[in-house]
Amino acid sequence: MLFRSTTQEILGWFDYEDAYDFLLNTIPNNGNFVECGAWLGKSSSYLCDIASSKRPDVSIYIVDSWKGSEDELSTNHYLATITDVYQIFLNNMGQRKFIPIKGLSKDIVNNFDNNSLDVIYIDMNHSYEYVKEDIELWYPKLKLNGYMGGHDYNKDWPGVIKAVNEK
Distances (CA, A) of 83 to 2, 5, 86, 157: 11, 19, 9, 26
> Once rounded to an integer, what is the mean pLDDT over residues 126-143?
94
Q: Is the pTM of this model over 0.85?
A: yes
Confidence of residue 68 (pLDDT cuts 50, 70, 90): confident
Opening angle at CA 65, ends 81 and 43, nearest 5: 100
The Cα–Cα gap between 140 and 42 comes to 27
Task: Give the mean pLDDT of the chain.
Answer: 90
Q: Is residue 73 pLDDT above 70, yes or no?
A: no
pLDDT at 105: 94
Q: Is residue 78 pLDDT above 80, yes or no?
A: no
Return phi, psi of residue 117, to 5°.
Answer: -115, 135
